[in-house]
């Protein structure tokens, strides 16, 4: 089969990497397009995901996002048509994305069946497009179908158990080289902090709680010898935080998963890094101030994720080895089967 996968944000590279590898190992012709946003292109290069860069993020305002959606979807259509011509008119059998509106629109324009995947149900603008255009909506089983019905997902929902991170980290082993790369000392406390997704439609407001976290972390770096690694999402965040005394701000995409595995504490305003910490057994707090999704609700109820309310009470002590929780590793083949389910349905008709 000829399969098209589109990547529009950094976490999508991580999620789709084992899917791409599994599909190619099975002999499928997989083509990947990627948007220049955050660390998406860098991660493709670091993880050796062959890709064609197409388009870039147009900004956080709704009008800019809509303009970017139209422009990039059109560019994807042109690219797909050119790719088909280069492949002797062999059209794509299916298009896959993790929350990519662009590929859903482009695939629908070209009458290619598509599957979409996500694990946060309240990005309503995105889901009203993807769920209506895609033939399969692949989500964690924590998200009940009643939360997806308003998006037109009835009859399309394909649920998987656990966290998506437990699938793409199934073959992961932490690499201590990350400590050397960032000049970190293994014997000193290590805190990893991820900034808020300021450009996301569902997280437009300033996160005052996160500002308090940064202040507490800066204090701990100065007075307690705590090593604080801050992972920004955008170039502007990197420029602003890179000048803060006591903060280590990597200048490019790094092996963040190994860093998390070695961390004594993770604090993140987003979702993916929180769940990576859970999957890797690291203690983690969320400072997300948007509407909690079903996945985080379940993790908080189970005590695997904690919601931070008072940054001044944070303790940055070293965690003993016994504090590392056991890992759950899941087969990425499950995600492959769910994503390809529209083709399976066609074959059975």
- pLDDT-above-70 percentage for the chain: 92
Segment (H or E) for 285: strand 284-286
SS3 205: coil
Look at residue 244 and tell me whether its pLDDT is greater than 70. Answer: yes
Overall average pLDDT of the 286-296 stretch:
92
Which of 67-76, 115-124, 203-212, 340-349 is the most confident on average? 115-124
For residue 94, list its beta bridge partners: 3
How far apart (Å, rounded) are the C-alpha atoms in residues 334 and 349? 22
- Are 327 and 319 a contacting pair, CB within 8 Å? no
Residue 155: which region, alpha, beta or left (left: phi > 0; alpha: psi -120 to 50)? Answer: left
Both structure tokens of 163: 């966290």
CB contact burial 32-45 (16+ within 10 A = b; e otherwise)? bbbbebbbbbebbb
Both structure tokens of 326: 């056991």
SS3 268: strand
- Are 79 and 54 a contacting pair, CB within 8 Å? yes
Confidence of residue 218 (pLDDT cuts 50, 70, 90): very high
What percent of the residues of the chain are helix, what percent strand, and what percent coil, each to the nearest 5?
45, 15, 40
Look at residue 322 and tell me whether its pLDDT is greater than 90. Answer: no
Q: What pLDDT, on a 0 to 100 scale, did the predictor assign at position 205?
A: 39
Tokens 């190992």 identify what position?
Answer: 25
Q: Please state, rounded to an integer, the average pLDDT across all residues of the chain.
A: 91
Both structure tokens of 33: 């397009």
Q: What pLDDT, on a 0 to 100 scale, did the predictor assign at position 292?
A: 93
- Other C-beta atoms within 10 Å of 276: how many? 27
Look at residue 327 and tell me whether its pLDDT is greater than 60. Answer: yes
Overall average pLDDT of the 242-266 stretch:
94
Dihedral over alpha carbons 313, 316, 319, 323 (to 10 degrees): 40
How far apart (Å, rounded) are the C-alpha atoms in residues 34 and 182? 27
Overall average pLDDT of the 91-96 stretch:
97
Look at residue 347 and tell me whether its pLDDT is greater than 80. Answer: no
Q: What pLDDT, on a 0 to 100 scale, did the predictor assign at position 165?
A: 98
Both structure tokens of 203: 């997280």
Q: What pLDDT, on a 0 to 100 scale, did the predictor assign at position 202?
A: 43
56-65, 88-97, 210-219, 337-346: the lowest-pLDDT one: 56-65
Q: What pLDDT, on a 0 to 100 scale, did the predictor assign at position 203?
A: 43
Both structure tokens of 44: 């493709």
How buried is 96 (Cβ within 10 angstroms: 0-12 exposed, 13-18 middle, 19+ buried)?
Answer: buried
Q: What pLDDT, on a 0 to 100 scale, did the predictor assign at position 204?
A: 39
Span 175-214, pLDDT tens digits: 999 999 999 999 999 999 999 876 444 443 355 888 889 9
How far apart (Å, rounded) are the C-alpha atoms in residues 333 and 259? 26
Reading across the β-sheet that carries 227-231, which strands appear in turn? Answer: 247-248, 227-231, 190-194, 265-268, 284-286, 306-307
Both structure tokens of 275: 């769940």
């Amino acid at each position: 089969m000829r399969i098209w996968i589109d990547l529009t944000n950094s976490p999508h590279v991580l999620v789709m990497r084992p899917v791409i590898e599994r599909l190619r190992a099975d002999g499928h012709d997989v083509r990947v397009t990627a948007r220049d946003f955050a660390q998406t292109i860098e991660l493709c290069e670091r993880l050796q995901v062959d890709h064609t860069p197409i388009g870039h993020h147009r900004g956080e305002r709704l009008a800019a996002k809509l303009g970017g959606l139209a422009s990039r979807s059109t560019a994807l259509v042109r690219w797909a048509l050119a790719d088909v011509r280069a492949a002797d008119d062999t059209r794509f059998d299916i298009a896959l994305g993790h929350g990519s509106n662009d590929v859903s629109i482009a695939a629908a324009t070209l009458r290619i069946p598509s599957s979409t995947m996500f694990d946060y149900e309240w990005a309503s603008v995105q889901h009203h497009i993807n769920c209506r255009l895609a033939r399969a909506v692949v989500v964690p089983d924590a998200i009940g179908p009643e939360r997806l019905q308003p998006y037109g997902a009835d009859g399309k929902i394909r649920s998987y158990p656990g966290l998506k991170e437990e699938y793409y980290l199934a073959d992961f082993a932490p690499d201590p080289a990350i400590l050397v790369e960032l000049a970190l000392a293994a014997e000193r406390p290590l805190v990893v902090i991820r900034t808020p997704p300021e450009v996301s439609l569902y997280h437009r407001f300033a996160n005052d709680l996160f500002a308090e976290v940064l202040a507490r972390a800066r204090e701990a770096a100065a007075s307690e010898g705590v090593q604080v690694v801050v992972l920004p999402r955008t170039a502007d965040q990197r420029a602003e935080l890179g000048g803060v005394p006591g903060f280590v701000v990597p200048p490019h995409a790094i092996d963040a998963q190994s860093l998390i595995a070695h961390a004594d504490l993770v604090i993140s305003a987003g979702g993916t890094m929180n769940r990576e910490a859970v999957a890797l057994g690291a203690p983690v707090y969320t400072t997300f101030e948007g509407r909690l999704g079903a996945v985080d609700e379940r993790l908080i109820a189970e005590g695997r994720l904690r919601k931070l309310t008072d940054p001044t009470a944070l303790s940055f002590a070293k965690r003993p080895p016994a504090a590392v929780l056991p890992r759950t590793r899941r087969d990425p083949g499950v995600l492959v089967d769910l994503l390809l389910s529209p083709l399976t349905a066609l074959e059975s008709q």
